[in-house]
Structure 1
Amino acid sequence: MYQHFYQRFLQANPDKQHFASHSHHYWPDVTREATLAYWDDSASMVDDKWLHIFGQVIPQTQQLIADILNLPAPEQIVFAGNTHELVMRLFSCFDLSKPLNVLSTDSEFYSFQRQATRLAEFDNIELTSVPTEPFASFTERFIAKVKMEQPDMVFCSQVFFNSGYAIADLPAFVLAVAEVTDAMIVIDGYHGFMALPTDLSAIAERVFYLSGSYKYAQGGEGCCFMAVPPGNNQRPWYTGWFAEFGTLAAEKSALVLYSNDGNRFAGATMDYTALYRLHAVLLLFKKQGITVGRIHQYVMQLQQAFLAELSRQQHPLLNQQSLLLYRPDQHGHFFTFKLASTSEVADLAAFLKNNGVITDYRTDRLRFGFGLYHNSDQFDLSCLKRG
């Protein structure tokens, strides 16, 4: 149905079933033209390309993202090369020589988890991690912990990368957290953006929302973004000269000035090839009427077809009994199968790869992701009969 958008990737991988779209999504063909367009613009405009990028490409991409997330102020979206850069900029809103209490979960992606754990090695920085399992009680347990701890920062994923568990009603979750704390609230939306229909309008003034183009936005690595609450007046000490764009014409003073929009969290000079790719994908989907809702419905159909194919194979390890979680109303776009050990998972992943079935795994969990470039009629797990 949608495979014609991905001809180059599909033709380059003719004998593979790529079930790692949650990790490295195939890119639509328009991203190749977008990559060349960045080169061409650089060649034809040279220094003036920055006027084009900041005057047209960035505002257009901000608007496309704002439309998808129902954000009222597109100018509050800031771009960076990766989410780690944005996470560090958020940490730098605090005086790290003073006590800092951060509350999160035991299931955050490494861009946050590694940095937060390293910072927690300092005596004055405390990191509290709430277990995501059991999933049925996670929301209640997390909010209760926020109320008890009264942290300075709350950081939580929309969809957890190591399970697929999704917060069913993100606005209600954020508002419940905001009701019991004045802390900075940050949501990692990387596994939610362009996968699950997401409306941030009710929480736009309260939450920092992080995501990027590497996964479901299908633009590849190198372009992440953060939605910054309007009226935010934080002064991150980890700051680059792009954060001063809105004040470059102002008279200089001893005080470091910041833009009055999301760019107060900007860094410095970066390669905008990835932004061109993201812009091209989002524009393609808008023109084709491919909404996140349509994508989500299609992926849920793929997931059902995959489970039916898996059931036919009757594999002793990879089966619905080892599926960690599946509730359509609380699930992202990948399945996670939990096996007995890391070595068992590694061996099975290697076997599948040798048979053209591409997956990925984290410790004892094997993950299968789904995207628009899949066709359920072509799912074939018959190799499991031999493994």
Structure 2
Amino acid sequence: MTATSRKDLFSRALSLDPDRLHFAAHSHHLWPDASFDGQIRAWVEANTFADRKWDLVFGDVVPEAQAHVAKELNLPSPDTVVFASNTHDFLLRIVSGFERKPVRILSTDGEFHAFRRQAERWEEAGEAVVTRIPLNPVETFDDRFIAAARGGGFDLIVISQIFFKTGQGFGAVEDLAALARPEGPWVIVDGYHGFMATPTDLSAVADKIFYVTGGYKYAMAGEGAGILHAPDGFCPRPVATGWFAEFGNLMGPPDGVQYRGDAGRFWGATFDATPLYRFNGARRILDENGLTTAAIADHARGLMRRFQDAVAAGEAGRLDRAEILNPVTDETNRARFLAIRHADAQAWRARLLEANVVTDVRDDTIRFGFGLYQDEADLERMIATCARVL
């Protein structure tokens, strides 16, 4: 079933700027009304339960959020899911589990800045040696990356499910999972542009890979809801560890630091649970309305196809002079945005913003993101605006 636009679920956000055309659902997704209710609930319960708040958080809020993630990713157990303020926290904790330095890392030249910057700094400090496989040429990337991974010699493999700048998808996660071992290599899949953007089934690889994502984008929960799926037996004792990881069923030497045996070994310290309230609220409202990720992705794909056709027909100003890096085809693992490359991308984004059309830009690539709060009328207005100002 294909979803239709559901502006009614976003009435608060849309009413704050009724004339704005927000085509950056891939960047800062607007928050549904249910997230506002979750925000209020977090405040009320924190003050109602006060000193007993954490019993509620770990007894109710966290298990509900874990169940939502496990359902979305088709995980065998919600116990493999844990939360932090951001995915960078998880990156630090996972890499801290390697006692031998430098850590030998295989990755790409297209990872998001959270990993890019940290990896470069690790290299400067002599803590990592990073091999980066170029994304281009796109047509051969999957084969080239898998060949490098099979070549061996790596402790850690880091790859995006969907690349943040170009929108291209990686289609060989199962091949990487086949290489993963508790003693190394470990595989981290960055799912930030995949989670709740495109149907994602990890059931076949959940026992082999780490999967990191968060609530900022398609999960519609805003900042502060970093999500990790951690396979059992991989990185059992991260060196970077918070005191919340010492609650539960503990494992380890009796005279040493012990850790939870499930994903809770990656807990940090005191955190703000409010983002999880927002995430739970957003997930509940989707479930109540029968809005699956597949249905929402189909809605977005329909808008993208129309926009892509308009660009090709010259209906959207000078965008027809640019290259669409991830044109819509029939693929299932695709971004929920169109990445369009041109030397004038920065200027185009600025002109659209002046016209109250929100997109975003990465270097020479302007990105148009699509979601549940846009309809065909919004799209036609955006196309007309592009024709006028570009």
Q: TM-score range by the shorter chain?
A: over 0.9
Q: Counterparts in 2 of 1:18-37, with a 5 A limit?
A: 18-37=22-41
SS in 2 for 1:237: coil
Gaps of 5+ in 2: none
Residue among 136, 148, 151 paired with 2:151: 148
Contact 1:19 1:358 (8 Å CA) reproduced: yes
**Cα distance in structure 2, aligned partners of 1:51 and 1:315:** 54
- Once the two structures are TM-superposed, the CA of residue 58 in structure 1 deviates from its matched residue by 0.6
**Partner amino acid, structure 2, of 1:116:** A
Residue in structure 1 matched with residue 336 of structure 2 by the alignment:
333
Q: In the alignment, what sits opposite 1:245?
A: 247
Distance verdict in 2 for CA 1:258–1:377, change over 3 Å: same
Counterpart for residue 351 of structure 2: 351
| Alpha-carbon displacement from aligned partner over 1:91-138 (angstroms, at most 9, x marks no partner) | 101126x23200101111111111111101133520111111111111
Gap change, CA 1:53 and 1:123, over 3 Å in 2 = closer
Q: Is the Cα–Cα contact under 8 Å of residues 317 and 339 in structure 1 kept in the other structure?
A: no
Q: CA RMSD in A?
A: 2.1
Asked if 1 retains the 8 angstrom alpha-carbon contact of 2:310 and 2:316, the reply is no
CA shift in 2, pair 1:251/1:155, >3 Å: closer
Mapped to 1, the partners of 2:199 and 2:252 lie a distance apart of: 44
The one of 70, 73, 84 aligned to 1:66: 70
Report the CA distance shift for 1:386/1:123 in structure 2 as closer, same or farther (over 3 A): closer
What is the CA deviation profile of residues 300-352 of structure 1, one whole-angstrom value per residue up to 9, with x for unaligned ones?
11111222343454456412752112144152101111112xxx222111101
How much does 1:215 deviate? 0.2
What displacement does 1:177 show? 4.5
How many residues of Structure 1 are paired with residues of Structure 2 in the alignment?
380
Q: 1:160 matched to which residue of 2?
A: 163
SS in 2 for 1:102: strand
Q: Is 2:106–2:156's contact at 8 Å kept on the other side of the alignment?
A: yes
Q: Does 1:93 align with 2:93?
A: no
- After superposition, what is the alpha-carbon deviation per residue over 1:181-212, rounded to whole angstroms, capped at 9, x for unaligned? 94000000010000111110110110000011
Shift in CA distance, 173/366, structure 1 to aligned 2, threshold 3 Å: farther
Amino acid at match of 2:55: L
Aligned to 2:296: 295
2-structure distance, mates of 1:201, 1:386? 47
**1:177-192 maps to which residues of 2 (within 5 A)?**
177-178=179-180, 182-192=184-194
**Partner Cα separation in structure 2 for residue 123 and residue 273 of structure 1:** 38
Secondary structure of 1:126 counterpart = strand
Asked whether the equivalents of residues 146 and 176 of structure 2 are also in contact (C-alpha less than 8 Å), the reply is: no
Q: Secondary structure at the match of 2:223?
A: coil
SS at 1:79's partner residue? strand
Using a 3 Å threshold, how does the CA distance of structure 1 residues 352 and 203 change in structure 2: closer, same or farther? same
Summarize the Cα distance change of 1:246–1:324 in structure 2 as closer, same or farther, 3 Å threshold: same
Give the aligned residue type for 1:86: F
TM-score normalized by structure 2?
Answer: 0.92
Matched AA of 1:118 = R
Q: Given that residues 76 and 230 in structure 1 are in contact (C-alpha distance below 8 angstroms), is that contact kept between their aligned partners in structure 2?
A: yes
| CA gap 1:53/1:254 in 2 versus in 1, 3 angstroms | same
Residue in 1 that maps onto 2:373: 373
> 1:89 Cα shift?
0.5
Contact 2:317 2:389 in 1 (8 A): no
Q: State the identity %.
A: 37
Structure 2 Cα separation of the partners of residues 328 and 276 of structure 1: 35
Say whether the 8 Å CA contact 2:149–2:176 is kept in structure 1: no
Hey, what's the Cα distance between the residues in 2 that align with 1:362 and 1:237?
34
Cα deviation code 1:335-381 (max 9, x no counterpart): 111112xxx22211110101111111111111110110010222222
Aligned to 1:44: 48
Distance 1:315 1:299, change over 3 A: closer
- Per-residue deviation, 1:15: 1.1
Range that drifts further, 99-108 or 315-324:
315-324
**Residue pair 1:204, 1:230 contacting (<8 A) in 2 also:** no
1:134 and 2:134 correspond: no
**Of 223, 226, 243, which residue of structure 1 is paired with 2:225?**
223
Distance, in Å, in 2 between the alignment partners of 1:182 and 1:95 is 12
- SS in structure 1 opposite 2:37? helix
**Maintained 8 Å contact 1:306/1:376:** no
Structure 1 residues 251 and 385, CA gap change in structure 2 (3 angstroms): closer
Cα distance between partner residues in 2 of 1:386 and 1:132? 32
Q: Corresponding residue for 1:121?
A: 124
- Aligned residue for 2:195, secondary structure, equals coil
Give me the TM-score of the superposition, normalised by structure 1. Answer: 0.93
Range 28-37 or range 119-128, more displaced:
119-128
C-alpha deviations, 1:277-317, integer Å up to 9, x for none? 00111122122211111111111111112223434544564
Partner SS state of residue 318, structure 1: helix
SS of residue paired to 2:346: helix
